[in-house]
Homo-oligomer: A and B are copies of this chain.
Amino acid sequence: MEPIPSEETGLGPEAMEAPDGEILGKMIRDARKEKGLTLEEAARAAAIGRSTLSKIENNQTRPSFEIIRRLMQTLELETPQLFVQSGQSGVTGRRDFTRTGLGEHKETSTYDHELLCSELTSKRMVPYISTIKARDVTEFDNWVRHRGEEFMFVLSGELILYTEHYRPLRMGPGDSVYYDSGMGHGCVSVSEEDAKVLWVSLEV
């Protein structure tokens, strides 16, 4: 076995500074203190080592995702707080109905979704505006369905909200509705023009 493979020289992780700066450790320590736990107790609860937790809190290590997830659970830390770092604005958005390119736009034959505040990746609720294309009323061969809850607010147009367990609901501007999005649902515009709807979705 030759000592060095000549040109290959696996260099490893190299530089890669931690952009979090001093934030992550501090937040975790604060959260632990808040709950009145000692290193020992917190580490035990999260099933990690006492020393590991100490290093994390002192920013002496770049912990694995798994470890952080456990700590979050134990300390009941909300994910957004952890991901909002390095002065990244917690406030974003600011937008008219105009869409702003990139991958924030999703279109199907029925809907035209535009995510709001998509620059903020760490949020738990997902707000978006959908244009429901005017079309003939047909039955739903496949419901929209996704684990969580959803709030819907009609901005313009007239539409009918079909749901799996309830009677269809005719809605107009200003009307709103709240439902478990695990229940099949779907909208049909009944006005001449497309209907615009604001949705806020919360995944479980």
Interface of A toward B, CB cutoff 8 Å: 16, 18-20, 24, 34-35, 47, 62-69, 72-73, 76-81, 83-84, 86, 88-100, 103-104, 116-118, 120-127, 147-149, 151, 153, 161, 163, 165-166, 169, 171-180, 182-183, 198, 200, 202-204
Contacts and interface: CB of A to CB of B under 8 A. Distances in A.
A148 B84 CA distance: 11
Contacts of A153: 116, 127, 153, 198
Given A16-B66, A62-B66, 16 more contacts: A34-B103, A65-B67, A78-B124, A79-B83, A79-B123, A91-B166, A91-B177, A97-B177, A97-B180, A98-B177, A99-B171, A100-B175, A116-B153, A125-B151, A127-B151, A200-B200
Sorted nearest first, the 8 A-B pairs with minimum C-beta distance are: A96-B180, A117-B178, A93-B177, A96-B174, A65-B68, A97-B179, A92-B180, A100-B176
Q: Work out how many copies of this chain go into the complex.
A: 2
A198 to B, nearest CB: 6
Contacts of A166: 89-91, 97
A159 to B, nearest CB: 13
Given A63-B64, A151-B127, A203 B91 contact: no
A93 to B, nearest CB: 4
A180 B121 contact: no
A151 to B, nearest CB: 5
Contact of A91 (B80, B104, B169): B169
